[in-house]
Structures are given as structure tokens and as C-alpha cells.
Copies of this chain bind each other. A is one copy, B any other.
Amino acid sequence: MSSAQEHRRAVVLVSGGLDSATVLAMAVDEGFVCTALSFDYQQRHRCELQRAAAVCQSLGVSDHRTIVLDPTPFLGSALTDGGAVDSGTSATDEHIPDTYVPARNTIFLSMALGVAEGIGATNLFIGANAVDYSGYPDCRPAFIDAFEGLANLATKVGVQHQSFQVQAPLLHLTKAEIIQRGVALGVDYALTSSCYEPSAQGVPCLSCDSCVLRAKGFAEAGHTDPLTEATS
């Protein structure tokens, strides 16, 4: 692989959702040789990882890696200080908070940075969005900028060349604008999953916040959602 090619390698966080599918298509369209990265953290809906794989395949990205991450150590402790530990305690859905991997984007980007350093990629793509997720600290421009700065302090390549870039191309886009970009790039949104509570077969509920946001985005974008079209 030539040096020029190496500088065009990217690691792209891919969840199986609409946003990250669009980001992957953007990165491919920009000519990056992409390594897609997903996380298996005992999601309720395993279909997400299958969707991520399908998205990668449809966009011709053959290097798709999944990092297994046990969320148990991240759960709030039931331990009393110095007290006895209930050996029967285990992580269940009931004990897992909604945002059950705190510091989530920091962890995901750190992993992406590790993968990138290993393969000689200097671009990290993430589908963070500050419009619909303004309440999340780690979806804001200041966080993205700070992580990029950290990446260039934390790694040998970064220190030597200040070359790491964190690309968050959806940061300031509305859902409709994201969908328009994706449709223009030929993203097959039928492969993606957005629902918080899909059926066992992966059929979206159409009533959760995420489904509502998606439906509104497609309506505003003037497109039909192939996912709900297929299931309606």
C-alpha cells in the first residue's frame, strides 16, 4: 500500500442505524478506504449488529470489525462501601439504565483511535449529531474538537504529525438533510434500524422517539422510508 493510500484510510463507527450508514456512505464517497467498527455490548436487539454488517456489505466495505464490550463493569454498584457483595447479583435489562454505557462516545472514539493507530488510519468518522441530540454532551462540537486534540496528544502518529482528524459530518444537519445526503449517495435505508423497541423480527414500532424522528425526517426530506414501506 502506498503512503498516499495510507493517508486515505479511515475508521468509521457503524451502529446499524440511519445516521452511521449515511456517514459510512459519505466516507466511501470521499475516497476513504474504510474500516467499519461496531460494538457488541449486549444490546437488547442483536439485529443492530446484523444491520451494521448489511450496511457495510451494501457499501462495499469488507473490513468490518466488532468489539465485544461487557457492560457489567459500567453498571452502578450495589456494593455498600466495604460491605458484602451479593454473589448472585447479575446485570439484567432492569438494571441497565437507558444510556447504559456512560461516556459512550468517548469510549467508542477511543477504541476507534486504537484501531486506527493499528492500521495506519488517521481519520475517524462518527455520526454524532448536535441538532437532534443537543442534550448529549458527547454529541457537541466542543467534544468532537476536544477528542481530536486528545488523539493528537495520545498517539505516536498524532504527536509526530498532528494528523488525526475526527470527522462528524452530520453534526449540524437535520434528520431530513441527513436522509437527503444518504439518498443521493444511494444508501439503502431498508437495511438500517432506528427503533428502540422493534419486534423480534426487527419490525419498528413506529411510536418510539427514534421512530417518530425518523418518520419526520423522511417526510421533510420528501422521501419514503423503505423500511416502513416494506413492513406496512
Residues of A within 8 A of B (CB): 1, 5, 33, 35, 37, 60, 62-63, 65-70, 72-77, 79, 81-83, 85, 101-107, 109-111, 113-120, 137-138, 140, 142-143, 146-147, 149-151, 153-156, 158-159
Contact = CB atoms under 8 A, between A and B. Distances in A.
Q: How many copies does the complex hold?
A: 2
A146 to B, nearest CB: 5
Nearest to A79: B63
Contact of A104 (B65, B104, B114): B114
Contact of A103 (B76, B81, B155, B159): B155
A133 to B, nearest CB: 13
Closest 8 CB pairs of A and B: A102-B117, A103-B114, A65-B73, A110-B110, A103-B113, A107-B110, A106-B154, A137-B159
Contacts of A35: 77
A113 B106 contact: yes
A76 B118 contact: yes
A26 to B, nearest CB: 18
A8 B127 CA distance: 35
Given A110-B103, A143-B150, A154-B103, A73 B79 contact: no
Most chain B C-beta atoms within 10 Å of own C-beta, residue among A73, A76, A82, A114: A73
A116 B76 CA distance: 9
B60 A82 contact: yes
- Residue in A1, A66, A143, A146 whose Cβ sees the most chain B Cβ within 10 Å: A146
